[in-house]
Structures are given as C-alpha cells and as structure tokens.
Amino acid sequence: MARESSPLAPQVEAFLDSILHERRMSPATARAYGTDLAEFVAFVEAKAERKARLGDLDTLMVRGYLASLFGRNDPATVSRKLSSIRSLGAFLVRRGLREKNPAKLVSMPKRGKPLPRFLSVDEAFRVVDMPEGDGAAALRDRAILELLYGAGLRVSELCALDIGDVDLAQRTVRVRRGKGGKQRIAPIGDSAVSAVHDYLARRAELAGKNGRLDVAALILNQRGARLSTRSVATIVDRASRAAGTRHKASPHSLRHSCATHLLDGGADLRTIQEILGHASLQTTQRYTHVSVDRLMSVYDGAHPHARGDDGDGD
C-alpha cells in the first residue's frame, strides 16, 4: 500500500532520464514524452485534488484522461499521448513498482479516414472536356474521363471493361469485376454515351504496328492492347493540370466527385451505394460529411442571421 501511495512525479522524472540516457533517445523525443506525461499528471491531480500517486495510474484514470482529450485533439495526438502513458507503465513494471501496465488494457482510438477530395462541378466539367481533337486517342481519353466521372467507376473496373459491357441504348455499364468480385450495373448519362459512341467509331485506329487489336477490351492503348491503370492515371493527371483544378485530380477523385455531386443533386445514399458498388452503406455515408460541410459553408455565407446582419431594412 505504501508503494501505491508513493508520489508519481519522481517516477516520471526517472522514466524520462532512462529514455534519454539508457535508451539513447533524442532530447526532443524526451521532451515530447515529458510534455505528454506532465499533462496526464496534471489531469490526475485535478481529479484527485492532491499530488498524483502511483496508485492513481490505473485503467479507469487513463480512460478518463483519453475521454477528456477527444474533441480537443485529433486521433493521432490522442494515440501519441496514450503511447507515452503506456511507456511509463512499462517502465514502472520493469522497476517492480507495478505488477501490470494499466495503460496496456486501454485501446488506441481509431484514426478516422480522411474525407475524400473531390472536384467542384465546374472543375469536373472542365477536366472531362479537356481532351481536344477527333483522333482515336483523344476520343478514348474523353470516354475514359466521362466513365470515371459519369459512372463513378474505379480505375480497375474501367480498365477491365469489355465492349460488350457497355449498352449505349440502355445507357448502362456492366461492371463484372468490381471490388470483392461483385457485379453491378451502373447508369451513364447522355454525355458519356456520346463520348463512348464517338470513341468506338475510331477505336480500330489504335491497332498496333503489327495490326493486332484486342477484340474484347473497351479501352485500348496505342498498341491495340488493354490500357493499364497507370496510363489512365496519367491521362487524368494531364487533363487535371490542363484544366487548372485546385487539387491534383486522380481516377479516384473523379469517382468521389461523382458521388458527391449525386448527393448534392438529391440522390439518396442507397442509390449512390448501388451505383458505386459499396459493400457497406457506412462507406457511402462518408460523402454526407463532405456535403454537410459545403451546406454549412453556403448557409453561413447566405443566411442573414448567420452573417450577423442586424435585421434592418425590408
């Protein structure tokens, strides 16, 4: 019991000294540990209304501390602070001052996935319209961009398409090799139908020097073979640079743009889930955060009360 009531602060100092001199960590790293642990000790003392003791370092106290950090810190910062406390706990176990490391039982907070980047409607239109000319390669590039943005295809799905997978009369694309081996039917608009139609009329011109032509593949390279995903990424990047988009566009950001613009246009999440081929609705729900942020931005800029207008006038 006497050990449990021993002051915690001196043990923190001993731990910092050990990582600096025994484990040969840099002074900057030791200072970072020291800052994290000083904040934890301050939290403990505020809760206990006395100096922190070894016995205060328990699982409930650590969980309470982490809970106090959420909302004020990002998950990466919270994870780092927990790691510092875990290292202190391991040090105390090695010194025989604790039987178990109480922080070891506390789970790391999950890091939220970053929200997907997307283009504005104007940017997306500029990118899709960027390929110029009526040669086979330019028409192919236009069809690629239309399908990525118009149908929200993954780049791997686009490259796996065969001619028979596109039904221009029904305005649909059959994705036979979707993520997880799942198949789906994705609708396409008039613009994509027109782009694919024009490309197919000149597709045979992409035959290689030896006259070889992949008779099945929809999207061909300059040698008449199925186009690679890397080549598609290069085509998108080139169009993005020429269009002057705020952020570098990729096949995936065109897919994200498709989903976001569908949501902004009033499509429900279940429909978007089917179009994109998401296995879980939770994946599709990420786009609601993007659109809500945009909604609030428009509201703050347009609503007089949000702007702080005094209400005088009409």
Q: Which residue among the candidates 80, 174, 252, 286 is catalytic per the annotation? A: 252
Evaluate whether residue 111 is within a structural domain: no
Q: Determine the angle formed by the axes of helices 136-150 and 190-202, rounding to 10 degrees.
A: 150
Which is catalytic among the residues 140, 142, 203, 278? 278
Instruction: Mark whether 182 is an active-site residue.
Output: no
Q: Are 178 and 243 in the same domain?
A: yes
| Cβ atoms of 19 and 105 closer than 8 Å | no
Domain boundary among 42, 74, 105: 105
**Shared-domain flag, residues 98 and 125:** no
114: in domain = no
Task: Examine the domain organization and report whether 134 and 69 are in the same domain.
Answer: no
CA distances in angstroms from 125 to 117, 153, 240, 254, listed in the order given: 16, 17, 11, 11
Mean pLDDT, residues 5-30: 84
Residue 116 maps to a domain: no
**Domain-embedded: residue 185:** yes
Bridge partners, 301 (sequence order): none
**Domain containing 223 — which CATH number?**
1.10.443.10
Annotated catalytic residue: which of 53, 98, 255, 256?
255
Is 64 part of a structural domain of the chain? Answer: yes
Residues 6+ apart with CB under 8 A from 48: 56
CA atoms within 13 A on the CB side of 310: 2
Mean pLDDT of 192-208: 93
Does residue 66 lie in a domain region? yes
Are 106 and 59 in contact, with CB atoms under 8 Å apart? yes
Task: Output 109 or 214, whichever has higher pLDDT.
Answer: 214
Which of 53, 81, 142, 154 is the catalytic position? 154
Q: Is 100 a catalytic residue?
A: no
Residues 84 and 207 reside in one and the same domain? no
Q: Are residues 173 and 292 in the same domain?
A: yes
- Annotation says 171 is catalytic: no
237 and 187 in a single domain? The answer is yes
Q: Is the pLDDT of residue 48 over 50?
A: yes
Answer yes or no: do 89 and 144 share one domain: no
Residue 312 falls inside a structural domain: no
Q: Looking at the structure, do residues 214 and 68 belong to the same domain, yes or no?
A: no
pLDDT band at 137 (very low <50, low <70, confident <90, very high): very high
Predicted structure pTM score:
0.59
Asked if the structure places residue 3 within a domain, the reply is no
CATH number at 48 reads: 1.10.150.130
The mean pLDDT value for 208-215 works out to: 82
Secondary structure (DSSP) of 275-295: HHT-S-HHHHTHHHHHHHHHH
Catalytic residue flag (residue 154): yes
User: Do 193 and 290 reside in the same domain of the chain?
Assistant: yes
From 179, 182, 247, 303, the catalytic residue: 179
Same structural domain, 153 and 101: no
Q: Does 183 score more than 90 pLDDT?
A: no
Q: Is 197 a catalytic residue?
A: no
**212 shares a domain with 77:** no
The CA–CA distances, whole Å, from 131 to 126, 142, 180 equal 10, 6, 32
Reported as a single tens digit per residue, the pLDDT across 216-267 is 999 999 999 999 999 999 999 999 999 999 889 999 999 989 988 888 888 8
Based on the fold, state whether residues 76 and 128 are members of the same structural domain.
no
pLDDT band at 1 (very low <50, low <70, confident <90, very high): very low
- Is 98 in the active site? no
Q: What is the pLDDT of residue 2?
A: 43
pLDDT reading at 196 higher than 90: yes
Q: How many domains is the chain built from?
A: 2
| Residue 233 belongs to domain spanning | 121-301
Say whether pLDDT at 96 is over 60. Answer: yes
Domain boundary among 81, 105, 129: 105
